[in-house]
Homo-oligomer: A and B are copies of this chain.
């Protein structure tokens, strides 16, 4: 991609990440807020370990920049972005558990069940998921009630049995069930795609964008979500643990069906180009205003880790 656009994008991605990181650091500070009950110190520490880990914050970025595209309230967008990151981090904490993907390291740090213990990791994940709905529905989010409800219902659907959690359940069965191509696409659309799709749609909801634009952004999110997973599978085959900060080559090792395993790396790269083009087409009506989302789509397609 064009060097200037790439450097603008990286600067904004980093700024948004710092913005969200600061918000989550304050929100999860372990002190009592308003209620009579103090927060359990160790639980909050485990939640912080799972959240404040220097992630790229791609999903919050998508919420913030989609909301900005439609002139949405940035404070409200930040709370929704923070909520979505809580859900993403809960899913990583639970996915890393020994009974699930059994990973000891995440972004170069011990995973929550390694740094604390399994019970703390289960409860930290549960609490982050629950807190996400508190963040959106709570009085602190200055949006019309109807928009907040659409955000709550949308998040629950994207994260639940018909979305992320359902996709993870299918993924755990995939070694035994050996899904076909349609099965893999469905699984990935649920496991990774649903939350990225929601991130883009949520920004449009925060800003009160018209239904048609909201639907277009959801489609954009679905396209880059699929690209994200494809790039991830490609990286799993081609990259090293050192670069990724987590174990790689696990899918092939486990004999897990991915589109890359099915069709090869060249096919995957062509597919990524196609998804990037599709994403750009969807942004066409928004012109220059959507430059940052366009750069995000190119970043996802070409990312090296």
Please list the residues of chain A having a beta carbon within 8 angstroms of any beta carbon in chain B.
35, 37, 39-40, 42-44, 47, 90, 94, 97, 99-100, 117-120, 122-123, 125-127, 129-131, 133-134, 136-139, 145-146, 148-149, 152-153, 155-157, 159-163, 165-170, 172-173, 186, 189-190
Contact = CB atoms under 8 A, between A and B. Distances in A.
A44 B122 contact: no
Contacts of A123: 94, 165, 168-169, 172
For A138, A157, A162, A168, the residue with the greatest tally of chain B CB atoms inside 10 Å of its CB is A162
Given A43-B169, A122-B94, A160 B37 contact: no
A299 to B, nearest CB: 27
Given A134-B156, A149-B145, A125 B127 contact: no
Given A119-B172, A127-B169, A137-B152, 13 more contacts: A37-B162, A40-B170, A97-B119, A97-B122, A119-B169, A120-B169, A125-B126, A126-B129, A130-B165, A134-B156, A136-B152, A139-B153, A149-B149
Given A39-B162, A117-B99, A153-B137, A129 B131 contact: no
A100 to B, nearest CB: 5
Q: Is the interface of A mostly helix, strand, loop or mixed?
A: helix
A169 B133 contact: no
Given A120-B169, A126-B126, A160 B131 contact: yes
A161 B129 CA distance: 10
Given A149-B137, A161-B47, A39 B118 contact: no
For A35, A122, A146, A186, the residue with the greatest tally of chain B CB atoms inside 10 Å of its CB is A122
A160 B134 contact: yes
Given A99-B122, A137-B152, A152-B137, A127 B166 contact: yes
Contacts of A162: 35, 37, 39
Given A42-B173, A161-B43, A153 B126 contact: no
Contacts of A168: 123
27 contacts: A35-B162, A37-B162, A37-B186, A39-B166, A40-B167, A40-B173, A43-B166, A90-B126, A94-B122, A99-B118, A100-B122, A122-B122, A123-B165, A123-B172, A126-B126, A127-B166, A129-B129, A130-B159, A130-B160, A130-B165, A131-B160, A131-B161, A133-B152, A133-B155, A138-B156, A145-B146, A149-B149
Nearest to A102: B119
A39 B133 contact: no
The 4 closest A-B pairs by CB, nearest first: A99-B118, A145-B145, A134-B156, A130-B160
Contacts of A47: 161
A26 to B, nearest CB: 15
A133 B156 contact: yes
Contacts of A119: 97, 99-100, 169, 172
Contact of A165 (B35, B94, B126, B190): B126
